[in-house]
Homo-oligomer: A and B are copies of this chain.
Amino acid sequence: MALRVQKYGGTSVADIECINNVADRVQKASDQGDKVVVVLSAMSGVTDSLIGLARQASETPDKRELDVLLATGEQTTAALLAMILKSRGYKAKSFLGFQAGIKTDKTSGKARILDIDGENIQQTLEDGYIAVVAGFQGADADGAITTLGRGGSDTSAVAIASSLKADVCEIFTDVDGVYTTDPRICNNARKINKITYEEMLEMAILGAKVLQIRSVEFAKKYNVPIHVRSSFNEEEGTMVVNESSDMESVIVSGITLDMNEARITLKRVPDQPGVSAKIFTPLAKAEISVDMIIQNTRSHGETDLTFTVTKDDFERAKEISQKVAREIGAPEILTAEEIAKVSVIGLGMKSHSGVAATMFQALASENINIRLISTSEIRISCIILAKYAELAVRTLHSAFGLDQEK
């Protein structure tokens, strides 16, 4: 008998028929004798249409009240699933965020979970109930309703799994698991059976949208085993776990592609102390997050400074940069929107040298020019021209031996 936390995303609860399918799966786990906590997202599209309603009420809807509004989405699906389970003769009870003891900070719209008081749910499970929890939401110290941001239900599920010391946190979604790269780009992509939290984190940051980043951080911190799997079939998906000896001995686990960045270069910036702060402080104040930063030395006390931002922030970042450039006396700004960031990720990089060399050679073999490079302990990212994006992914996928056998 296991304790399982199962999270179902918006496409898995899109309508009553889908929720009935979720009930089938929950019922099966319960029939096996497992204790089940179900965490649900809102029906797909509902959160967006609630945001639309809020925009009709106010151009910039108050964040506290927006959370109150958005929380109705998960409240609806949780109530409906509990109804269905009960009508099938199962004991089930819905929990809203505050009822599930999910305590957050006061950051409306993207609150962080501070603590979970799992006693309510624990007791309910012991009484033989299936617990159905509205994901994405919690309550702050004053009892105000908060939400955890896009994909927050993943974090709800992992946090609850952690507080209950669940055997597994199953994330049911519309894909079969985590892939070595995007199968729509590379038809040799393979489903990964097991991946570490660190690798998953890099992949999530780089745009693999299977799991919310914070949920992976949470799982890593509290060592919660995550099973990412499809809600439409019975196949095993991808286990996200701590590094262990039985991991596949691969150096690179996956290739990611992020087309959502744009590049800004300030040419001939005076090479003086404090000049970087002058550029990046106003960007930070405008809540623009900067991804890669590269500074090239030039002669004559001048330097070129390049950074990337998301495309959403590009226009604002460009304006701010132009203003700063005038102030600090940098004569020229170059920008590029048609870029792509391709990354290789692998825990094996820690102990294997030569990954960067292989990456650069592979790209060079296809005449793909690298514009910027950045690295972390388990990741190497290159900015290239957008038109080479898919070719680069397929080339790297093959170069690192990730192609599936045909």
Contacts and interface: CB of A to CB of B under 8 A. Distances in A.
Given A59-B87, A69-B79, 11 more contacts: A16-B56, A54-B79, A57-B84, A58-B84, A62-B82, A62-B86, A65-B86, A68-B79, A68-B96, A71-B75, A98-B143
A87 B66 CA distance: 12
A57 to B, nearest CB: 5
Given A16-B57, A80-B57, A94 B65 contact: yes
Interface string A29-72: 00000000000000000000010011011111110111011011
A53 B66 contact: no
Contacts of A93: 64
Copies in the complex: 2
Contacts of A99: 143-144
A83 interface: yes
Contact of A87 (B60, B71, B72): B60
A interface secondary structure, majority:
helix
Given A53-B16, A80-B53, A69 B65 contact: no
Nearest to A58: B87
Contact of A72 (B58, B76, B82, B86): B76
A228 interface: no
A94 B68 contact: yes
Contacts of A98: 143
Given A59-B87, A72-B72, A65 B79 contact: yes
A93 B78 CA distance: 25
Interface of A: 16, 19, 50, 53-54, 56-62, 64-66, 68-69, 71-72, 75-76, 78-80, 82-84, 86-87, 93-94, 96, 98-99, 143-145
Contacts of A65: 79-80, 82-83, 86, 94
Contact of A54 (B57, B80, B145): B80
A56 B86 CA distance: 14
A120 to B, nearest CB: 8
A99 B69 CA distance: 15
Given A72-B75, A76-B72, A80-B53, A86 B66 contact: no
A-B pairs, 8 with minimum CB distance: A58-B87, A72-B72, A69-B79, A68-B79, A62-B86, A65-B83, A16-B56, A65-B82
29 contacts: A16-B53, A53-B76, A53-B80, A54-B80, A57-B83, A58-B84, A59-B87, A60-B87, A62-B82, A62-B83, A62-B86, A62-B87, A64-B94, A65-B79, A65-B82, A65-B86, A65-B94, A68-B79, A68-B82, A68-B94, A69-B75, A69-B79, A69-B80, A69-B83, A71-B75, A72-B76, A75-B75, A98-B143, A99-B143
A94 B72 CA distance: 14
A79 B56 CA distance: 13
Nearest to A50: B76
Contacts of A79: 54, 65-66, 68-69
B57 A68 contact: no
Contacts of A62: 82-83, 86-87
